[in-house]
Amino acid sequence: MLRVAELGKEYRLYASPRERFRALFTRRALHRSHWALNGVSFELRRGQCLGVIGDNGAGKSTLLKLLTGTIQPSTGSVWHAGRVTAILELGAGFHPEFSGRDNLYFGGSLIGIGHEEMARLEPGIAEFSELGEALQRPVKTYSSGMTVRLAFALVTAVQPDVLIIDEALAVGDQHFQKKCVERIMAFRENGCTILFCSHSFYHVRRLCDSTLWLRDGELAMQGATEQVVSAYEVYARSRDVSAEALEQPIEVPAANAGAFTPRLGARIVAMSIDETDDADPPLLLGGNLRVRVTARLEGSDEVPQVLVMLEQFQGHGIATDSTRADGARPQRLPNGDWQVVLTYPDLPLHSGEYVLSAYLFDAAGVVVYDEWYQHARFRYVNPQLTPGLVRLPHYWGER
Amino acid sequence: MTALFQELAGLWRMRTLLRALTWREVHARYQGSAAGVAWAYVQPLLTVAAYYLVFDVVFGMRLAQGAPTGRVGTYLIVGSLPWMAFCDAVGRGTSSMLDAGSLLQKNALPPALFPLRTVAASALVYGPLLLLLVLAYAPLHRFAPALVAAVPLLALMGLVTALLAWLLAIMAAALRDVVQAVGFVLAIGIFLSPVLFPMALFPVAWRWVLWCNPMTPVILGLQSLLLQGAWPATAVWLALLAWIAVLACVLSLLVARSREQLVDWL
């Protein structure tokens, strides 16, 4: 339905308007190039919904304008089948001196709806916008909400084949917002392809099958919504966390990190997570988090204690569990090493990147022998779509 | 030239929209005023009346020998109405793309639609006036058959005006000063044309300057048509065709160079 190949847009920046004028007549390059978009390719099939996320200035609006044909690409091509409707900056084509009804006909002709077809659609539009007799008055007497309602009703009067929405779900009051969302959902059910650009991750997660992440004009990532959105969240968080906060020592119960007594021969030898793939960082397959920590205490039969700490990658700490607190006992391996296997069944965390640390204690759990701080990192994708950090066990109603 | 033809092909496909835009422009020029589109006719008609009254009735001025007609007022009217139409079309056309900037940035439309609809709207407003002009002067020569030349002459004038307005609109999008410059040139352009005085009065060595004005052949043609009842000279037709060729070439160049960036400039 929509195919984009190597799309790019170069904005030429001239030192002054005179230079711009001269560039019309000479072949010499008198400009500085700013590539707002570069090498973007993707394909959308019927009924798919693609989300577009990214920072401000990443090229999202440029991409949408290129798709609607409002601006011309510098490289690459756009191909689409059928009608493309864009809900961008509603009400821009209205002439304030003319009545709402006249603007309907004029606006309709701008998007390719002829006079006869508009006459057929007019009652439906009037009803949807709930403007009543205000349609006879000039648009300059409308409130901004009325303009936007009329524009939305006009633009969505005909079922499109490709619908492009740019942060425009916040139109009008709640009642109208609900009507807008219902109409968009109806389009989707009828097989319309939707391209949705937003900063609201809740909406992107709820509505989109796959997502595109644009960064500095280039395609940073494309794929299933949950993966791309959580990767973007990690990136956004890493920009927020200041350098100072990253260096802050993490409080470890019963010991200071770094102040451990290196007893000769007492050390952690291995730490791994079961059931991950080979990506970097590895993705946790399945719903259980199983951590294996292997330690070696040479020349002693002391039973060590192990503490495992789970934190968000460059974020908050989440959980700390130790063999001492839970009364668990490490297993002795045939070669004399000690091994603990810690399982978090059905990991109740939301999607994101996490990191595990392991600490080796003495039998009393007081002296820290070794630490592997933030050693194992993994990515977790939780198909649950509601916002939050953890999924707490709960029930509804009175028990 | 291919760039120009591609644009024209695209515009032909959007001709219904062009018609809608033209009507909208005509209405919008005087929307909200009581007299409406009648205001468009007030200035030309009053100017014509003033010329007639002042030069022919009050002063009774007469032109020198060798002029197409005796009376000054009669002479002035023939040239000034087309010139007023030309100034209106080119003046508004130059700023048409800039004015429609917000519309172009939000809708996928070819920018060429806007200077063309402005020229078409001006043609709709001034067309009846020019037709009236031809009919008013026709009895002077007992409805000579050469009057039929008015149709191709006015059509070619429309073509030259449209090409020029489109060209200037692209230039104005690149450099706003063009709007000011065009206004200035149109103001003094009337002196560099046979509107106010016959070509014969102009020094021979400087007559080439007059031919640099695209309206000169049109006015010469209309003058010979309406004042003398004679078919316009070959030079008139050749000059018009030359102007159209030159404008088309320059326009094609500008369209090709600006196509990618034009909307970004608005």
> Mind listing the pLDDT tens digit for each residue in A213-262?
988 888 888 888 888 888 888 787 777 665 445 555 544 444 344 444 55
Q: Is the Cβ–Cβ distance between A321 and A342 less than 8 Å?
A: yes
Exposed e or buried b per residue across B36-70, where buried means at least 16 C-beta atoms within 10 angstroms of its C-beta? eeeebeeebeeebeebbeebbeeeeeebeeebbbe
> For chain B, what is the radius of gyration of the CA atoms?
19
Contact at CB, A23 and B257, closer than 8 angstroms: yes
Q: What is the pLDDT of residues A354-364, one digit of tens each?
A: 999 999 888 87
Q: What is the pLDDT of residues B223-244, one digit of tens each?
A: 888 888 888 888 899 999 999 9
Number of domains in chain A: 2
Give residues with Cβ within 8 angstroms of B227, minimum separation 6. Answer: B68, B69, B74, B75, B78, B137, B140
Between the two ends of chain A, the Cα-to-Cα distance in Å is: 51
Q: Is the Cβ–Cβ distance between A205 and A225 less than 8 Å?
A: yes
Phi and psi torsions of B6, nearest 5°: -60, -45
Taking CB atoms and an 8 Å cutoff, what residues of chain B touch A109? 16-17, 20-21
Rounded Cα–Cα distance for residues B52 and B74 (Å): 7
Q: Is the Cβ–Cβ distance between B101 and B114 less than 8 Å?
A: no
* Mean pLDDT score, B203-209: 84
Residue that the structure tokens 């640390």 belong to: A357
Lowest mean pLDDT of A135-144, A180-189, A252-261, A285-294, name the range.
Answer: A252-261
| Single-letter amino acid code for the residue at A272 | S
Q: What is the span of the domain harbouring residue A221? A: 46-238
* Mean pLDDT score, B116-125: 92
Q: Examine the pLDDT at A83 and tell me if it is beyond 70.
A: yes
Kind of pairing, strands A162-166 and A193-197? parallel
A17–chain B Cβ distance below 8 A for any pair: yes
Name which of A263, A194, A241 is nearest A45 in CA terms: A194
Q: What is the dihedral of CA B256, B260, B265, B266, to 10 degrees?
A: 90
Residue A39 lies in a domain: no
Kind of pairing, strands A289-297 and A218-224? unpaired
The distance of A256 to chain B (nearest Cα, Å) reads: 59
Q: Tell me which of A97, A103, A162 to substitute to probe the interface with B (most B C-beta atoms closer than 10 Å).
A: A97
Last residue of a domain, one of A189, A204, A238: A238
Rounded Cα–Cα distance for residues A151 and A97 (Å): 16
Contact at CB, B32 and A97, closer than 8 angstroms: yes
- Tell me: cis bond preceding A281? Omega within 30 of 0 counts: yes
Between the two ends of chain B, the Cα-to-Cα distance in Å is: 24
Q: What is the dihedral of CA B235, B241, B245, B251, to 10 degrees?
A: 110
Give residues with Cβ within 8 angstroms of A249, minimum separation 6. Answer: A256, A257, A258
Rounded Cα–Cα distance for residues A15 and A20 (Å): 8
Last residue of a domain, one of A185, A208, A238: A238
Which has more confidence, A188 or A168?
A: A188
- What pLDDT shows up at residue A110? 79
Name which of A310, A319, A322, A309 is nearest A366 in CA terms: A322
* CATH code assigned at A169: 3.40.50.300
As given in the structure block, the two tokens for residue A256 are 């200071």
Q: Are residues A291 and A229 in the same domain?
A: no
- Cβ burial of B223 (10 Å; 0-12, 13-18, 19+) is buried
Q: Are residues A134 and A279 in the same domain?
A: no
- What pLDDT shows up at residue A244? 47
Q: Are residues A291 and A206 in the same domain?
A: no
Region for B108 from its dihedrals, namely left if φ exceeds 0, alpha if ψ lies in -120 to 50, beta otherwise: beta
* Mean pLDDT score, A112-129: 88
Q: Examine the pLDDT at A269 and tell me if it is beyond 70.
A: yes
Q: Examine the pLDDT at A114 and tell me if it is beyond 50.
A: yes
The partner residue sitting opposite A109, judged by closest CB among B20, B27, B265, is: B20
Contact at CB, B106 and A93, closer than 8 angstroms: yes
Residue that the structure tokens 């005087």 belong to: B30
Chain B interface, Cβ < 8 Å to A:
16-17, 20-21, 24, 27-28, 31-32, 102-109, 170-171, 174-178, 253-254, 257-261, 263-265
Q: Is the Cβ–Cβ distance between B263 and B111 less than 8 Å?
A: yes
Q: Tell me which of A20, A85, A99, A104 to substitute to probe the interface with B (most B C-beta atoms closer than 10 Å).
A: A20
* Mean pLDDT score, B29-56: 80
Q: Are residues A97 and A201 in the same domain?
A: yes
Q: Highest mean pLDDT range out of A88-92, A390-394, B56-60, B213-217?
A: B213-217
- Cβ burial of B109 (10 Å; 0-12, 13-18, 19+) is buried
Rounded Cα–Cα distance for residues A358 and A351 (Å): 22
Q: Are residues A304 and A216 in the same domain?
A: no
* Mean pLDDT score, A256-285: 74
Taking CB atoms and an 8 Å cutoff, what residues of chain A touch B31? 97-98
Residue A98 lies in a domain: yes
Residue A38 lies in a domain: no
> Which ranges in B113-149 belong to alpha helices (H)?
113-137
Helix (H) or strand (E) holding B43: helix B38-51
The distance of B250 to chain A (nearest Cα, Å) reads: 9
Residue B159 binned pLDDT confidence (cut-offs 50, 70, 90):
very high
The distance of A222 to chain B (nearest Cα, Å) reads: 27
Helix (H) or strand (E) holding B240: helix B234-258
Name which of A341, A347, A313 is nearest A328 in CA terms: A341
Give residues with Cβ within 8 angstroms of A169, minimum separation 6. Answer: A177, A180, A181, A198, A200, A203
Residue A85 lies in a domain: yes
Rounded Cα–Cα distance for residues A116 and A105 (Å): 10
Inter-chain Cβ pairs, chain A and chain B, closer than 8 A: 75
> For chain A, what is the radius of gyration of the CA atoms?
29
Q: Are residues A131 and A210 in the same domain?
A: yes
Taking CB atoms and an 8 Å cutoff, what residues of chain A touch B22? none
Show the CA angle centred on residue A68, arms to residues A65 and A72, nearest 5°.
60
Residue A37 lies in a domain: no
Residue A348 lies in a domain: yes
Q: Are residues A83 and A196 in the same domain?
A: yes
Residue that the structure tokens 């308007």 belong to: A17
As given in the structure block, the two tokens for residue B35 are 């007299």
Q: What is the pLDDT of residues B129-139, one digit of tens each?
A: 888 888 888 88
Which has more confidence, A316 or A358?
A: A358
Q: Write A271-278 long-range contacts (CB < 8 A, 24+).
A: A271/A356, A271/A358, A271/A372, A271/A375, A271/A376, A272/A376, A273/A356, A273/A376, A273/A378, A276/A378
Q: Examine the pLDDT at A43 and tell me if it is beyond 70.
A: yes
The per-type count for chain A, helices as H runs and strands as E runs, is 10, 17
Domain limits, chain B? 2-265
Q: Tell me which of B259, B260, B262 to substitute to probe the interface with A (most A C-beta atoms closer than 10 Å).
A: B260
DSSP states of A105-169 = HHHHHHTT--HHHHHHHHHHHHHHHT-GGGGGSBGGGS-HHHHHHHHHHHHTSS--SEEEEES--
- What pLDDT shows up at residue B85? 93
- What pLDDT shows up at residue A308? 92
Percent of chain A beyond pLDDT 90? 5
Which has more confidence, A315 or B176?
A: B176
Residue A280 lies in a domain: yes
* CATH code assigned at A280: 2.70.50.60
A68–chain B Cβ distance below 8 A for any pair: yes
Residue A281 lies in a domain: yes
Q: Is the Cβ–Cβ distance between A293 and A268 less than 8 Å?
A: yes
Q: Are residues A120 and A213 in the same domain?
A: yes
